[in-house]
Amino acid sequence: MLVVVCPGQGAQSPSMLAPWLELPSVATSLTRAAQTTGLDLVAHGTTSDADTIRDTAVAQPLLVASALATLRAVLELDADAALAPATARVAGATAGHSVGELAAAAIAGVLTEDEALRLVALRGAAMARAAAATPTGMSAVLGGDPDEVAAALATHDLVGANVNGGGQVVAAGTLEDLAAFAAEPPARARVVPLQVAGAFHTRHMAPAVDELRGAAEGITPGEPLTPLLTNSDGSVVASGARGLELIVAQVANPVRWDLCQERLVALGVTGLLELAPGGVLTGLARRTLPGVETVALKSPADLDAARDLVRRHAGTGTPSPQEDLS
């Protein structure tokens, strides 16, 4: 069975879209996404520098638009063809890491592409505003005993905002608490500050949740055509409405990608396709999903491998809605 996954913030890099724009369908898709979001995504994906695309308000729309556009290239769809029904014919599940959940929701048919793009533009801007309210940040915690790491985070009033599997945890909270944690790390653990604007997926993002929820109330979500996993606990969402509710709430709650990967094992996934800018999630999969074949879309040179993966692992696994444990 094939799963299509969408990367989260931090996966972006300068000029990442330059080779993709040589493909007419991708260029058209990105131009339309720019019109929907009100951001020059073509420029941000080709000429903007690293600091510019690190801005939450820029990075998030750029990542969602890139994932959707490059999936079209894999499936050889023109810019007017419906994406969700085409994906449902080949994928048994889809999931996205953090902001990647909005791309996955569009791929599953819970949201239209335009709805996902409008929401991600609001999400990025709202999270940037929330981050500016208090000096907060995030640090990667590498190594250490998981229980000891969790206890140390609690001691310093920090949250494991991203639990990615394979021993990767990202701590989030105030800069003061992060500094105290780094000065007294758990045994055999290394703490590496990340260049992000705030403590995402924590209580500090509550104002952004309120903004996003207000916008989501005007959307009537569709039912998933492809089973959609939630970052909250890795379960398959029971309905489109529940999926959208969880995506909104996730802004201020930890990303449990470790549980998403556990669910993929339980579903019997054999192939994993990571959409552009690919690499991070396939790297995690190689460490935590033994035997699952992976392809990361980094440039159009990866399209043949991606299409071959789709051809050989295509399936229509249909996990029951009762698997929603949230």
Q: What's residue 325's pLDDT?
A: 33
Last residue of a domain, one of 146, 170, 193: 193
- Smallest CA-to-CA distance from 6 within 248, 282, 238, 236 is with 282
Q: What is the pLDDT of residues 134-164, one digit of tens each?
A: 999 999 998 899 999 999 999 999 999 999 9
pLDDT band, very low/low/confident/very high, at 319 (cuts 50, 70, 90)? very low
**Lowest mean pLDDT: which of 287-291, 298-302, 309-313?**
287-291
- Helix (H) / strand (E) element for 255: namely strand 255-256
Number of domains in the chain: 2
CA–CA gap between residue 132 and residue 147 (Å, rounded): 32
Q: What's residue 320's pLDDT?
A: 39
- SS3 per-residue string spanning 125-193: HHHHHHHHHCCEEEEEEEECCHHHHHHHHHHCCCEEEEEEECCEEEEEEEHHHHHHHHHCCCCCEEEEE
Q: Tell whether 82 and 168 lie within a shared domain.
A: no
* Radius of gyration from C-alpha coordinates of the chain: 18
Last residue of a domain, one of 150, 170, 193: 193
Q: Tell whether 304 and 214 lie within a shared domain.
A: yes
Q: What is the pLDDT of residues 193-248, one digit of tens each?
A: 987 889 999 999 999 999 999 999 999 999 999 999 999 999 999 999 999 999 99
CATH number assigned to the domain comprising residue 232: 3.40.366.10
Residues annotated as catalytic (active site), given as ranges? 98, 201
Q: Tell whether 178 and 69 lie within a shared domain.
A: no
In this model, does residue 182 exceed pLDDT 70? yes
Mean of the pLDDT values across residues 55-79?
96
DSSP secondary structure, 93-115, as one string: EEEESTTHHHHHHHHHTSS-HHH
Q: In which region does residue 241 sit, left (phi positive, over 0), alpha (psi from -120 to 50) or beta (all else)? A: alpha
pLDDT band, very low/low/confident/very high, at 256 (cuts 50, 70, 90)? very high
121 belongs to a structural domain? yes
